[in-house]
Amino acid sequence: MDNNIYSALYDITQENIREAGGEFSVSKEAFAELSTIHPQAANIFHISRTNSNKLFLEKAYIHLLKRFADESAYRNWEGRFSLFPCQFQRLLTMTLITSDEFSNKNVKVYDNFYSIHNQYGGDPSNSKKAVEVKKSEIKLHINNRLRKIYNRLPEAVKKVLRKILKRR
């Protein structure tokens, strides 16, 4: 499947709506999700692969509730966009999956590593059989923004950075 055709269609239609004085509220990235959704399944691991809480909100609605996030969804959640992605994703995922709307959707959820039913789902420190985790020897004292920049770097550059930081 050519995902580019969908991106190109989005650009063309966005241009048309702008000429008429309007604008799409659904982002191009969220729209791209629509072209790949399975009619009956949602894979939390796959949709969690983003550091943008807004984008995750859009993806979660599309995959779990099979619809776009509406205005009330944005209103309800934008106050929590500043949370760490992991926290935001966990909260949103569990809220949607336990909602009445979801219970009528006939959607099978896969790879929900946030699940309260799983071992180490939710907060690991609360797990009954938690094993002490040996922390990584690499301690990266960088803030969230720099992490985002790091994530976008080519692999070769990341390797060099890790070596440099390890030496320190």
Partner 1 sequence: MDTKVMIYSDITNLMKVDFLTGIQRVVREIVIRLIKYDSLKLNLLMYDEAENAYYLLDNNKFLTYFFNHKGEKKDVITDKVINFTDISSGAVFFDIDSVWNSRLKRSWLFPLLKQKGVKIVTQLYDLIPITHPQFAHENTCMNFMIYVGANIEYADLIIVSAKATADALDELCDKLGKERKKCVVVPLGADFSAKNSDEEVPEDIIKIASGRYILMVGTIEPRKNHSLVIDALDSGLAELGINVVFAGRIGWNVEELEKRIREHPLLGKNLFFLEKPNDAVVDLLYKNALAVAFPTFNEGFGLPMIEAFCRRTPVIASDIGVLREVGGEFADYFDPYDKESFIRAVKVLADDENTYLQKKALLEKFVPFTWDDSAKMFLSAVCSVNENLVQVPEDTRVKQMVVLTARNDDILATLPYLEKYMPFITEMVICCPDRNVDELKAAYKGRFELKFLTDSEVLDGAELPEDHQTRNFFLRCLILRKEIIDDVFIMTDDDYRPLREIQIKDFIDSNRYKAYYCYDLKKWDGTYGNPTSFDIGMSKTCQFLSEHGYPTMMYASHQPQIIDKKIFNEMTEKYPHVITSGTDEWSTYFNYGVGTYPDKFDVVPYISMCWPGAKTDWDLYVVPSEFVFENHYSVLYENGQVFEGLSDRFEDISEELISEKIKRYRSELEIQFDVRRVYDDYCSEYLASKNEMPSFTIVCTHDENQFLISTPEYIKLRAGSFTRVHITFDKDIKDWIGSECVKLNYWFTTNQNEILIPLHILNIDMEEPEFMLPMRAPNDCFESCQFHFRVILEDKNFERTIHMKVVTI
Residues in 115-154 at the binding interface with partner 1, rule: CB under 8 A: 115, 117-121, 124, 129, 131, 133-138, 140, 144, 147, 151
d(Cα 133, Cα 24) in Å, to the nearest integer?
A: 45
* 16, 78, 126, 146: residue in contact with partner 1 (rule CB under 8 A): 16
- Is residue 24 near partner 1 by the rule CB under 8 A? yes
- Is residue 76 near partner 1 by the rule CB under 8 A? no
Identify which of residues 80 and 162 has a Cβ nearer to partner 1 in the complex: 162
Ramachandran bin of 147, using left for φ above 0, alpha for ψ from -120 to 50, beta for the remaining angles = alpha
Closest CB 96 distance from partner 1, rounded Å: 11
How many residues of this chain interact with partner 1, rule: CB under 8 A? 71
d(Cα 78, Cα 38) in Å, to the nearest integer?
A: 27
How does 41-62 read in b/e, with b if 16+ C-beta sit within 10 Å?
ebebeebbeebebbbbbbbbbb
Closest CB 44 distance from partner 1, rounded Å: 8
- Is residue 80 near partner 1 by the rule CB under 8 A? no
- Is residue 95 near partner 1 by the rule CB under 8 A? no
Single-letter amino acid, residue 107: V
Phi, psi of 70 (to 5 degrees): -95, -175
